[in-house]
Chain A
Amino acid sequence: MQIKNLLLMFRNGVSITAILVFIIGIMGLLGLAFTHFSGTVHQQHAYNNQRRAMIELIRIKADDLLQQLESMEKKMGLALQAEAPFRTAFKQQDQEKMRKILDNEFHRFFSTTGKIRLEKLAVYDRDFNLFAEQASEHSMLSDAEIGCNSVLVKARKRQAAERLKMISELCQLQQRAYHTTIIPIGGIRLKGYLFITTDPVYNLSPIEKALAMPIAVRLPGQKISYQSKNWQAMDNHEVITAVYQLTSNNSEPTLEVLAKDRVVPLFKNIPNPSFFVMIIVSLFTLLYIAIATVILRRTTINPLKKLTMYLNDITEDKARLGEKISVGGIREIQALCKSFNIMSEELGGLYQSLENMAFTDQITNLPNRNFFQSHLKEVINYHKSIEHPFALLIMDMDKFKAINDALGHQTGDMLLNDVGQRLETLLRGSDIVARLGGDEFAAIITLKREREHQNSVSVMVHKIIDVMAEPFMIDGHTLLVGMSIGIALFPEHSVNNNDLMRKADVAMYHAKKTRAGFSFYSDKHDEYSVRYLLLSKDLMTAIEKDQLQLYYQPKVDAKKGSLTGSEALIRWQHPELGFVPPSEFIPIAEQSGQIRKLTSWIINKAIEQCSLWRAEGYDLGVSINLSAINLHDQSLVDEIHQAMRTYNMKPQYLTLEITESSIMGDPEQSVKVMRQHREQGFNLSIDDFGTGYSSLSYVKKFPVNELKIDQSFVRNLINDPNDEAIVSSVIVLSHSMGFKVVAEGVEDQATLAKLADMQCDVIQGYYIAKPMPYSDFIPWLHEYVHHTKR
């Protein structure tokens, strides 16, 4: 569990303090261990030195004492054999007398004064035959045993003068130590031998006095045979024991002398200082940890904390980016802080510009839709609290797209900018104007607390319309711009921001539709939501129950007047709502997922009916309008192909019209599907050209062979020089790219003549014929063919 916690701690990151404490702690422990170790080594060294010194002292004293013993044995022996009774007894071979003399020796000087402890005296003749012997009362030696028998063995081997020499041996026999000396009887005139055997342990005991330490003597590996009185009293724990081994002449270990000495008296001060030093070292380590921690806190941790806190602050409040901070501390952290300040400043700048970009429209520098919508919420909350009304205006420019296409985006942008500026000049105090996108502007107008605030809004709106009526001078062009304004009132129309926006929008569309310039919101205009649900529901039945019908509008050659084709247009006669325009139900079909089915129906119907009139001898094809969603449907290609085969029609008689704006939704995918259609041999036409955002240079890339100019340009062609310029240039450019040009919305002879003059290829419009159901189309064809022939 402990280890788990530790691992977890490491995974989560360890604080620098913890690391420091850990390192210093380890160093401190190592220091302590080293101190302890060196202290122990020193102590052991000191102990060993003392032990060696003790052994040396034992050696000196033991050797000295053994020499003394040997010397005493020799003196005693020499003196004994020189005495007259001894000589007489030996000479007279009187063994009994000799034994008495020997026995007497145990009660004489050397023994009685305690100088030696005699074990045995033995007398041998020159040929080493035992003459007499006497052992002490307590002796363990049996008869004819000298003690150190090796002396006898050695003595027997000697020759000539060597035989006179007195020799001594230290030995052990039957777990006892003996010291034996051989002395020649008769001095230099050898007559026999006297052996003196003593207990050497007795003579070694004075070592304790010389060393002033308790000693013990034992045979190697045996029990202690002598020990000082205070030997046991000395605690083994605090003592040094030294062992010296005495060896016999042939180097066999014979005796061990042990000495004990207290550690305390001599080395009292050695272990204690090391303990003291260890405490000091520990204290210093702790002190050092404390100091290091304080320094670290001052120089590193606190600055880092400060920096971290600041970073957290910035995370919560981005507006604080760019604030300079100073944290102090070590150089590295200061460098970090400096770099951080630089980065923060840069990020602050970036954040500011991002925020500007996010909430500001780049073209007009007005607030954008995001900002406007969030601001609207605040305004609503505020006006709710003060119970104060305001008006929301949504303004849409008329014909802006045409200007944009004809004169380029740059001019369009400049125009938008100027419009924005003019709108801004009209604002009062808390009012705000924003560009919602495209050519759409919005404004919040705070109203006075009066009953007739529709009037005060109208005043404002008229001001806007007046200002907009002034021509704009842009890039050498004089541009006239109309404005359709929708107005929704708070709290009268809605207190919800989205609803208020939608209602202003509805009003704006109404204004646009009626060309009234401006319109207040009214429930009458806003049947959208109810209708949407109804239409969406009923569309399915409409497809199934044949409530739909295809109308055909002929296309004719602008110059020759001959028929070149026809456009199939869908019509829906709703049983309750009556006529529903395709501009209303096509988007519903798209949004409710019924467009595929609808398109399928149109394709089959159009191809079927086309094949029928072709069978009757009218050589003209049919155009079908494809929706943006159809452009993403690969299977449609096969379906059209299938229908063509079913009705045995050649592909060149089918034209697929695609609106410019639907291509621009996803140009790559559109081009891909368009290519597939082209490969099948169908004609492709760009419908409503001029209302989308594409330029001709872009359209050049599309695999199309026809371009239809939107009727909004054609309708006022005669009166509006702008429209004339646009149409003229579109025709010229289209021809240069190999496209055929179709003009829609031709309503009179003058327009037709003008278009023919401009080299327009095909025309379509009320002037030729209105769209008509199939039942009327065949007779019309008949009539027209015969009429033109005439």
Chain B
Amino acid sequence: MSKLCFKIGRLLLLQLFVLGLFNPMSVLHAKDKVSPMTLAGAKTITANDIIDLIDKLPQLMIIDSRMNDRPQGYIETSVNLADIDTTCDSLAGILKQLHTPVIFYCNGPKCRRSEKAINIAVSCGYDQIYWYRGGFDDWMKQGYPYIAN
């Protein structure tokens, strides 16, 4: 009896999964919460670009704008500064000059923390800002190494 209930439940779950995949409501719902493709004052880059920039720019800094997700892993050499902690002052503590190249990232397009941090950095006058829009999710997905705890 319990087995039968289990199987029926499983079939129902399968159905929910299928329905959820094609539910147009969920797409509409997420649209507003996604970051734009580009941000004023920042250059959008990919994971590959990061590796290249690390080689090319010795002064490059990587700022992790996430707040709680860092323990899951992070890009090597990145510094954690959550967007809500990002100010001109806190940035100045990490970036020595306004010309210092810097990459912002968070979990991805939906987390929007890097977007906010960049807006602040731009307002502070930093002019070599790179935005890794794909974030840590994309990093993992691309199979790049990261620091895991």
Enumerate chain A interface residues (CB-CB to B < 8 A). Answer: 53, 56-57, 74-75, 78-79, 82, 160-162, 164-167, 183-184, 187-189, 212, 265-266
The answer to whether A188 and B75 touch across the interface, beta carbons within 8 angstroms, is yes
A-B contact pairs, 12 of them (CB 8 A): A56-B14, A74-B143, A78-B148, A161-B48, A161-B52, A164-B51, A166-B143, A167-B143, A187-B76, A188-B50, A188-B144, A266-B4
Contacts of B144 in A (CB 8 A): 164-166, 188
Contacts of B52 in A (CB 8 A): 160-161
Contacts of A188 in B (CB 8 A): 50-51, 54, 75-77, 144-145
Residue of B nearest to A75 (CB): B148
The answer to whether B147 and A187 touch across the interface, beta carbons within 8 angstroms, is yes
Size of interface on B: residues with Cβ below 8 Å to A: 24
Which of chain B's residues 107-149 have a Cβ closer than 8 Å to chain A? 142-148
CA distance A265 to B2 in the complex (A): 11
CA distance A161 to B10 in the complex (A): 42
Chain B nearest CB, measured from A66 CB (Å): 15
| B7 beta carbon closer than 8 Å to chain A | yes
Residue B10 contacts which of A57, A79, A162, A166 (CB distance < 8 angstroms)? A57
Contacts of B75 in A (CB 8 A): 188
The answer to whether A79 and B4 touch across the interface, beta carbons within 8 angstroms, is no
Residue B145 contacts which of A53, A57, A160, A184 (CB distance < 8 angstroms)? A184
Residue B148 contacts which of A79, A161, A212 (CB distance < 8 angstroms)? A79
The answer to whether A266 and B51 touch across the interface, beta carbons within 8 angstroms, is no
Question: 8 new A-B pairs (CB below 8 Å) besides A57-B14, A78-B148?
Answer: A53-B11, A78-B145, A82-B147, A160-B48, A160-B51, A160-B52, A161-B49, A161-B51
The answer to whether B147 and A265 touch across the interface, beta carbons within 8 angstroms, is no
CA distance A189 to B76 in the complex (A): 9
CA distance A266 to B3 in the complex (A): 10
Residue A162 contacts which of B3, B48, B76, B77 (CB distance < 8 angstroms)? B48
Residue of A nearest to B144 (CB): A164
The answer to whether B76 and A212 touch across the interface, beta carbons within 8 angstroms, is no
| B6 beta carbon closer than 8 Å to chain A | yes
> Ordered nearest first, which 7 A-B pairs have the shortest CB separation?
A161-B51, A165-B143, A161-B48, A187-B76, A166-B143, A188-B76, A187-B145
Helix, strand, loop or mixed for chain A's interface? helix
The answer to whether A265 and B3 touch across the interface, beta carbons within 8 angstroms, is yes
CA distance A265 to B50 in the complex (A): 56
CA distance A82 to B74 in the complex (A): 13
CA distance A188 to B62 in the complex (A): 13
Contacts of A78 in B (CB 8 A): 145-148
Contacts of B148 in A (CB 8 A): 75, 78-79, 82
Contacts of A189 in B (CB 8 A): 54, 76
How would residues 1 to 31 of chain B score, 1 for a CB under 8 Å from any chain A CB and 0 otherwise? 0011011001100100000000000000000
Contacts of A56 in B (CB 8 A): 14
Contacts of B145 in A (CB 8 A): 78, 164, 166, 183-184, 187-188
CA distance A567 to B54 in the complex (A): 170
CA distance A162 to B54 in the complex (A): 14
CA distance A160 to B142 in the complex (A): 14
| B47 beta carbon closer than 8 Å to chain A | yes
CA distance A266 to B10 in the complex (A): 13
Chain A nearest CB, measured from B16 CB (Å): 13
CA distance A204 to B115 in the complex (A): 41
Given contacts A56-B14, A188-B77, contact A212 B7 (CB under 8 A): yes
Contacts of A184 in B (CB 8 A): 145
The answer to whether B7 and A266 touch across the interface, beta carbons within 8 angstroms, is yes
Contacts of A165 in B (CB 8 A): 142-144
CA distance A59 to B53 in the complex (A): 40
